[in-house]
Amino acid sequence: MNIVGARVDQRLVHGQVANLWTPNLQVERIIVVDDDASKSDIQKSGLRMATPMTTRLSVLTADVAADHLNNERYGKQRLFIVAKRPERFLDLIDRGVKIETVNVGNMPKGDDTTALTKQVSVNQADVEVFKQLIDKGVKLTVQLTPRDDSHDLMKLIDEKMK
């Protein structure tokens, strides 16, 4: 597996992912892990339009993504995995996919969330998932764009959710 990036982003493929992260990481394929989008031709079409022309796109369920990644279906392609929720990365790791770092880029504010940054808000259930990812050896960062400073997600949680 040649995973060069993994990002939690509610918007999936959009300007920051397509125009900043993809060229910065020299991504050859974006893998969107989202059950709903994988079943919707309309959502897949929108994601394809947002994806750079020079980049391939796969929109898959966690099961299919794990199978393809574990069986090295993408060869030596540089892969960028994007999902709306941190649970998808836990799903992939539990299915044997090796992910070293997850960048949390956009989790919108909700009724039961605490804002960690302008772009990242979490609830207690999210924190529990992040703790499980940490326990599995995953480094968790918050970084909006490649030009921004990277911050340790768990330090932000410790500071903001006391």
Active site residues: 14
Rounded CA-CA distance 93/99 in Å is 7
The sign of the CA dihedral 126, 131, 134, 136 is negative
In degrees, to the nearest 5, what angle opens at C-alpha 35 toward C-alphas 32 and 40? 90
Q: What are phi and psi of 76, to 5 degrees?
A: -95, 10
Q: Which residues pair with 9 in a beta bridge?
A: 106
Strand order across the 151-152 sheet: 56-60, 29-33, 79-83, 3-9, 101-106, 139-142, 151-152
| Nearest partner of 6 among 85, 118, 109, judged by Cα | 85
